[in-house]
Amino acid sequence: MTPTGSGLWRPWVRFAGGAAEPYREERQVSQVAKAERVLGQELRRRGWTEATLGERAKGDREKMKIAVRLRRETLVTVAWIAARLQMGSVAHVNTRLYQWRQVKGS
């Protein structure tokens, strides 16, 4: 008998004391690894180092290009992007991403 008792195994169903998604942690780890690879590519392409991220302005245009690519190609959160690119608060990054989409969409 399966944990749901219905004869079907549904791993997304939340069990008492269990996680809603058994593979959630593995997916998160793989998405962070993918985001780190993308970030590494972008840093190398620009000739930047990790220290450069802290030296440049929070709303720097090149940082925004990296943030947009990370949002497009990975599932990392805006909070992760804000922290990793040293762009300030999540609200600031969300606002900048929104403004970027508005300009690029028109």
Per-residue pLDDT, 30: 84
Per-residue pLDDT, 12: 47
Q: Provide mean pLDDT across the span 64-72.
A: 96
User: C-alpha dihedral over 72, 78, 83, 87, to 10 degrees?
Assistant: 80
16-20, 39-43, 74-78, range with the lowest pLDDT: 16-20
Q: Among 81, 26, 85, which residue's Cα sits nearest to residue 51?
A: 85
Helix (H) or strand (E) holding 93: helix 90-105
Query: How far is Cα 27 from Cα 18, in angstroms, rounded to an integer?
Result: 17
| Domain edges within the chain | 24-105
The larger pLDDT score, comparing residue 89 to residue 8, is at 89
Looking up tokens 């959630």 gives 24
Q: Is the pTM of this model over 0.85?
A: no
- Has residue 2 got a pLDDT over 70? no
